[in-house]
Amino acid sequence: MLPDFGLDKLLLFTLVLSRISGLTMTAPIFGTKDVPMQVRALLAAALAFLILPTQWHIDVGYPGSLANYLLFIGSELIIGLCLGLGIVILFSGLQVAGQLIGRTGGMMMANVLDPASGTEIPLFSRLLFLLALAIFVCIGGHRMVMAALLDTFQSIPPGSGTIGTAIVPAFTDLITQSFALGIRSAAPVVTAILLSTLIMGLISRTMPQLNILAVGFGMNSMLTFGVLALSIGSSVYIYQDEIEPTLTLMLQAIQGQ
């Protein structure tokens, strides 16, 4: 049982809750819009009560004013947001891959509603994202994220967290890496479609009477689904080795290293 739950400990609880809330608002599995807001709020509160005893020895000074208190809350919120956004940015490369596959395969009209963003995205983007999310859970990515959050409490006690300028180049490097992974994921399908287009162009030169538009569209669609079925595992598999380095990068940026 926690003794002496006074005003200072209430302040400590709100700071811990703010940091966890930032993570549960953005991180995959925890912060997607597929999860109801009530569930996310309950999860954040439960985690805050579990983590609070480990921070019971922290002496948080009184803010002195509402502006200072909001600054403390904002700093804690940003720490959690950065960890969650790091994984979200990493997985956003799959949307690039899906757009490349849909555009080269001639199926850009096949869009679905993305619950996370509330906008329509290519069907292949949604498919790749859901597969990557499944691999994220299978390899324990959600546990890695929670472990990274616990590490921040060891290196940055509640009430002392400040985000330095190191976070900007970290996000820049992460966006570049995500785009490169997206290109790698779409490379097998895009390469096959380009080769098919080249072959169809050569056939149309030798057989002008052939309706290459009608044949080429159906051929590209079949080739897109065929190559994607063969390469979809490896296309998503490359993301599993990048989750832990991404969390490490974000932790170092948050700590100002």
- List pLDDT tens digits, range 70-83: 888 888 888 888 88
At a CB cut-off of 8 Å and minimum separation 6, what does 82 contact?
A: 22, 163, 167, 250, 253, 254
Q: Tell me, what's the pLDDT at 1?
A: 45
What's the length of the chain?
257
Q: Tell me, what's the pLDDT at 136?
A: 84
Q: Rounded distance, CA 158 to CA 92, Å?
A: 30
| Alpha helix segments (H runs only) across 62-140 | 66-104, 123-138
Q: CA 24, 26, 32: angle at the middle one, nearest 5? A: 85
Average pLDDT across each block of 10 residues of the chain; the chain has 257 residues. List them in order.
63 86 82 76 87 80 77 85 85 83 72 63 79 84 85 81 74 88 86 81 72 66 81 78 83 75
Q: Residue 120 forms beta bridges with which residues?
A: 113
Q: What is the pLDDT of residues 14-60, one digit of tens each?
A: 888 888 888 888 888 776 777 778 888 888 888 888 888 888 877 77
pTM summary value: 0.77
Q: Residue 121 forms beta bridges with which residues?
A: 112
Q: Rounded distance, CA 213 to CA 221, Å?
A: 12
DSSP string, 161-202: ----TTHHHHHHHHHHHHHHHHHHHHHHHHHHHHHHHHHHHH
